Structure 1
Amino acid sequence: MAWQNNPQPPPPPVPPQQPAAAPSRAKGCLSSLVSLGVVIALGFGASQLFKDDDTGTSSSSTGATDSAGDQKSRSWEKGDCGGPDPEKGSDSYTMFDCDESGATFKALEIMDGSIMPESIQCPAGTDLIIEVSISYGGSDAAGGIPTETVCGRNLSDDHPGDAGAGGGQLVEGDCVDNQAQEIACSGAGGTDYKVLGLVKKKGECPAGTIEPMELMFAIGRPYDVICGGKA
Structure 2
Amino acid sequence: MLCALLMLVLAVLAGCQQPSGGGGDGDGNGDARRTTPAPVPTRASGYGVVFLGIDECSSFGRESFTEVPCTSERAAARVIARHDGRAGEGPPCPATTDFVLHISEQRPSADEDGDGAVPQGYACMRNLEPPHPGDPGGGGGPRTIVGDCVYSAGAGEVRETSCDSEGEGENGGRAPEYQVTGAVERRSDCPASTELYVQLGGPYPVGCARPL
Alignment of 1:39-54 (within 5 A): none
Q: Deviations over 1:130-167 (max 9, x none)?
A: 122314587xxxxx9633x2111111222111110111
* Unpaired runs of at least 5, structure 1: 1-70, 139-143, 216-220
2:99 to 128, 134, 137: 128
Counterparts of 2:198 and 2:130 in 1: how far apart (Å)? 32
Task: Give the corresponding residue for 1:172.
Answer: 146
Q: Which has the higher strand share?
A: 1
Q: Does residue 55 of structure 2 align to residue 79 of structure 1?
A: yes
Paired residue secondary structure (1:157): coil
Q: Which has the higher helix share?
A: 2
Counterparts of 2:137 and 2:55 in 1: how far apart (Å)? 25
2:160 to 176, 182, 197: 182
Counterparts of 2:59 and 2:199 in 1: how far apart (Å)? 37
Which TM-score applies when normalising by structure 1? Answer: 0.52
Task: Give the corresponding residue for 2:16.
Answer: none
Task: Give the corresponding residue for 2:19.
Answer: none
Task: Give the corresponding residue for 1:5.
Answer: none
Task: Give the corresponding residue for 1:157.
Answer: 130
Greater RCO, 1 or 2 (C-alpha within 8 Å, sep 6+): 1
Contact 1:114 1:120 in 2 (8 A): no
Structure 1 pair 182–95 and aligned structure 2 pair: CA distance change class (3 A): same
The percent identity for this pair of structures is 30
Contact 2:105 2:120 in 1 (8 A): yes
Alignment of 1:138-157 (within 5 A): 146-147=120-121, 149-157=122-130
Counterparts of 1:182 and 1:118 in 2: how far apart (Å)? 22
Structure 1 pair 226–136 and aligned structure 2 pair: CA distance change class (3 A): same
Following superposition, the deviation at residue 174 of structure 1 comes to 0.2
Count matched residues. 146
Following superposition, the deviation at residue 171 of structure 1 comes to 0.7
Structure 1 pair 204–151 and aligned structure 2 pair: CA distance change class (3 A): same
Structure 1 pair 214–150 and aligned structure 2 pair: CA distance change class (3 A): closer
Instruction: Give the residue type in structure 2 aligned to 1:210.
Output: E
Paired residue secondary structure (2:63): strand
Question: RMSD over aligned Cα, in angstroms?
Answer: 3.3
